[in-house]
C-alpha cells in the first residue's frame, strides 16, 4: 500500500509538506505542489481518511445512535438520516443501543474518540447528562434531552389527542391506553394527549405500560384484556404495541374492529400490511430524519441555526382497525 512517505520520497519533499498539501493546512510552494501532484498520479496514491481526520480532528462521518433496531420505526428513521447525509457528502455510522444505558454511553464515547464530525442521538437517558461531555455538534432526534441541544420531534401530545378523539368519535366508550416506558418524555406526552382527549367525556379509561416491542406488548395486553373484557378501544403509544394488541385480540377471539378498535402511533410501513391494516397516527418519519441530518450538517459546517427546536405535526391515517364509517 502506497503511503504518504512514498509520495514525499518520490516528490523529494518532506512528509509534513505532503500533509499540508493534502489537508490544505499551510503554505506549499508551486514547485513542491507540482512535484507532489505528479508523485500522487504516478503512485496512484489515495489519501487515508483516517490519517486526515487524525491530523485535522475533523471528518465526514456522522454518528447515529438509535435505541432499538428491532422496532421498525428506527430503521425507517435511520434511512432518512443516511439518505440526507449522503446527499451532502457525509457517511453515517449506525449504533444500536438496545435501550441499554451502558451501551449508549459506550457508543457516545467511542464515536467522540473516532473524530466523527457530529452525532445524532435518539436517547433512552433523558434524565442524565452524559452527553454534555461530547464536544461535538449534536442533535436530539425524536426524544428531547435539553433545551440547549437542537431537537427534532413530533408533536406527540397533539397526535395522541387526535387518536383518542377519533376512537371516541367511532363509538368507543371503554378506552385502554398502552403507554411506552415512563422514563421517555415522548411517551409521557402521548399519555397526556390521551388524558386531555378523554377528560370530561362519558367514557372509562385505563392506562398500562409496555415496552415498544411486539411480543412484550402482546403478552401484557393479552393478560389485561383477559381480565377486562369490556375494553372496546385501544390507543397504543407505538405501532409495535398496537400490533401486539391486535395479536392479543386475535388470541382472545376479540373481533377488530367489530368488538374492539385499535389506533397506533408512528406510521411504520408494517402497519399497512398486517390484517386488518392498522389505523395510526403517523409521524412524518422521513422528514424527522432528514431535518435532524440537515440541522447537524449546518452545525458541522459552521452555519447559524435559525430554529433549534423543530416540532413536526403527525397525521391520522385511517385503516381497518377502526370503524369510522358507522359514525359518518
pLDDT at 51: 53
**Using CA atoms, how far apart are residues 285 and 296, in angstroms rounded to an integer?**
17
pTM, to two decimals: 0.79
Would you say residue 286 has pLDDT above 90? yes
**Which part of the chain is CATH 1.10.260.40?**
4-56
The mean of the pLDDT values for the chain is 89
Name the CATH topology of 4-56: 434 Repressor (Amino-terminal Domain) (1.10.260)
Superfamily of domain 156-283+316-327: Response regulator (3.40.50.2300)
Alpha helix positions (H), 3-72: 4-11, 15-23, 30-43, 49-56
Domain span(s) for CATH 3.40.50.2300 in the chain: 61-154+285-313, 156-283+316-327
The span from the CA of 7 to the CA of 38, in Å, is: 9
% pLDDT > 70, the chain: 91
Which pLDDT band, with edges at 50, 70 and 90, does 263 fall under?
very high
User: What fold does the segment set 61-154+285-313 form as a domain?
Assistant: Rossmann fold (3.40.50)
SS (HEC) of the chain: CCCHHHHHHHHCCCHHHHHHHHHCCCCCCHHHHHHHHHHHHHHCCCCCHHHHHHHHCCCCEEEEEECCCCCCHHHHHHHHHHHHHHHCCCEEEEEECCCCHHHHHHHHHHHHHCCCCEEEECCCCCCCCHHHHCCCCEEEECCCCCCCCCEEEECHHHHHHHHHHHHHHCCCCEEEEEECCCCCHHHHHHHHHHHHHHCCCCCEEEEEECCCCHHHHHHHHHHHHHHCCCCCEEEECCHHHHHHHHHHHHHHCCCCCCCCEEEEEECCHHHHCCCCCCEEEECCHHHHHHHHHHHHHHHHCCCCCCCCEEEECCEEECCCCCCHHHHC
Q: What is the mean pLDDT of residues 161-166?
A: 97
User: Between β-strands 61-66 and 118-121, what pairing exists: parallel, antiparallel or unpaired?
Assistant: parallel
- Residue-wise pLDDT for 21-72, tens only, equals 887 767 888 999 999 999 999 998 877 555 555 454 557 889 999 999 999 9
Amino acid at each position: 500500500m502506497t503511503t504518504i512517505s512514498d509520495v514525499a520520497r518520490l516528490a523529494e519533499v518532506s512528509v509534513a509538506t505532503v500533509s499540508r498539501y493534502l489537508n490544505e493546512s499551510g503554505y506549499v510552494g508551486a514547485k513542491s505542489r507540482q512535484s507532489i501532484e505528479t508523485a500522487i498520479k504516478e503512485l496512484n496514491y489515495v489519501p487515508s481518511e483516517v490519517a486526515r481526520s487524525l491530523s485535522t480532528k475533523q471528518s465526514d462521518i456522522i454518528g447515529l445512535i438509535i435505541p432499538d433496531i428491532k422496532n421498525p420505526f428506527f430503521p425507517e428513521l435511520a434511512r432518512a438520516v443516511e439518505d440526507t447525509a449522503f446527499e451532502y457528502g457525509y457517511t453515517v455510522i449506525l449504533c444500536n443501543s438496545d435501550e441499554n444505558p451502558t451501551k449508549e454511553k459506550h457508543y457516545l464515547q467511542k464515536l467522540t474518540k473516532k473524530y466523527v464530525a457530529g452525532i445524532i442521538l435518539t436517547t433512552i437517558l433523558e434524565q442524565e447528562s452524559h452527553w454534555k461531555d461530547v464536544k461535538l455538534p449534536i442533535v436530539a432526534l425524536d426524544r428531547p434531552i435539553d433545551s440547549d441541544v437542537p431537537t427534532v420531534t413530533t408533536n406527540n401530545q397533539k397526535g395522541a389527542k387526535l387518536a383518542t378523539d377519533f376512537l371516541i368519535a367511532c363509538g368507543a366508550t371503554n378506552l385502554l391506553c398502552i403507554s411506552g416506558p415512563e422514563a421517555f418524555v415522548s411517551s409521557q406526552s402521548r399519555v397526556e394527549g390521551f388524558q386531555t382527549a378523554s377528560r370530561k367525556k362519558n367514557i372509562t379509561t385505563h392506562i398500562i405500560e409496555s415496552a415498544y416491542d411486539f411480543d412484550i406488548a402482546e403478552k401484557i395486553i393479552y393478560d389485561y384484556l383477559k381480565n377486562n373484557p369490556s375494553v372496546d378501544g385501544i390507543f397504543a403509544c407505538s405501532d409495535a404495541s398496537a400490533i401486539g394488541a391486535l395479536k392479543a385480540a386475535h388470541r382472545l377471539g376479540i373481533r377488530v374492529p367489530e368488538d374492539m378498535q385499535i389506533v397506533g402511533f408512528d406510521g411504520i410501513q408494517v402497519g399497512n400490511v398486517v390484517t386488518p391494516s392498522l389505523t395510526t397516527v403517523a409521524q412524518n418519519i422521513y422528514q424527522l430524519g432528514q431535518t435532524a441530518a440537515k440541522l447537524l450538517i449546518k452545525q458541522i459546517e459552521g452555519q447559524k441555526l435559525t430554529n433549534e427546536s423543530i416540532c413536526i405535526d403527525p397525521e391520522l391515517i385511517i385503516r381497518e382497525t377502526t370503524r369510522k364509517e358507522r359514525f359518518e
